[in-house]
């Protein structure tokens, strides 16, 4: 064990980051729930309302991430590696950015008849968001609960693999059956934004696994 690591065991580490991560991820759950409402809604004005709320949540998420960065600059002793604190906050914020992008594209493109496959991917994004939020609530006890956290990380990775398969199947169907070139492009861009969002959730899980390895 390194000397600096040894002495840090006797220092009360700053815990203010944990509630900020919880706040950050709860905000993402709210955005993912709103995304689902948006994709299920047929009234365009109500879709725009959902998008407006997601945009507000995205702005709030930026503010929380900025607070984490500010607190990191003012904190000498951190609960885990300083770079990991920054990277985790950044990747959580990026997940929210991609949820916002999926909402923006849906409202901007106004697809004629959204496929049920898109709703399945939206449901997967919401499941990812809830798993990330659950992990954030356990970060303060990451050393003791690493097994439970790793199970959730594995589930996020499984969701990403499932969505990858669905994404490929959907695009195959789209190019074989959609005769309207404009609708094809709309739906291709929308499904890409949804698939990208699940990739960003996997990035968070990868960061968490890296932290656990370093703490072992």
pTM, whole model, 2 decimals? 0.91
pLDDT for residue 13 is more than 60: no
pLDDT digits (tens, 9 = 90+) for 48-105: 999 999 999 999 999 999 999 999 988 877 888 889 999 999 999 999 999 999 999 9
Rounded Cα gap, residues 121 and 118, in angstroms? 5
pLDDT digits (tens, 9 = 90+) for 110-130: 998 778 899 999 999 999 999
For 169-176, what is the mean pLDDT?
94
- Give the range among 32-41, 65-74, 129-138, 201-210 with minimum mean pLDDT: 65-74
- Token pair in block for residue 151: 């199970």
Rounded Cα gap, residues 53 and 59, in angstroms? 10
Q: How confident is the model at residue 11 (pLDDT cuts 50, 70, 90)?
A: very low
CATH of span 11-215: 1.20.58.220
Instruction: Give ∠ CA 98-103-107 in degrees, rounded to 5.
Output: 145
Decide: residue 187, CB within 10 A, 0-12 exposed, 13-18 middle, 19+ buried: buried
């Amino acid at each position: 064990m390194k000397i600096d690591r040894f002495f840090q065991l006797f220092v009360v580490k700053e815990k203010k980051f944990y509630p900020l991560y919880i706040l950050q991820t709860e905000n993402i759950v709210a955005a993912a729930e709103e995304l689902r409402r948006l994709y299920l809604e047929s009234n365009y004005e109500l879709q725009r309302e959902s998008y407006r709320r997601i945009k507000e949540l995205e702005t709030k998420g930026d503010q929380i991430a900025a607070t984490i960065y500010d607190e990191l600059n003012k904190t000498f002793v951190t609960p885990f590696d300083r770079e990991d604190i920054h990277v985790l906050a950044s990747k959580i914020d990026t997940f929210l950015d991609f949820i916002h992008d999926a909402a923006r594209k849906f409202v901007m493109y106004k697809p004629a008849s959204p496929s049920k496959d898109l709703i399945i991917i939206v449901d997967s994004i919401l499941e990812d968001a809830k798993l990330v939020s659950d992990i954030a609530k356990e970060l303060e006890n990451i050393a003791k609960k690493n097994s439970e956290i790793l199970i959730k990380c594995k589930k996020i990775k499984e969701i990403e693999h499932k969505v990858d398969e669905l994404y490929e199947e959907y695009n195959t169907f789209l190019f074989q059956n959609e005769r309207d070139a404009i609708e094809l492009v709309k739906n291709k861009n929308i499904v890409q934004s949804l698939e990208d969002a699940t990739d960003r959730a996997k990035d968070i899980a990868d960061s968490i696994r890296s932290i656990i390895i370093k703490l072992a």
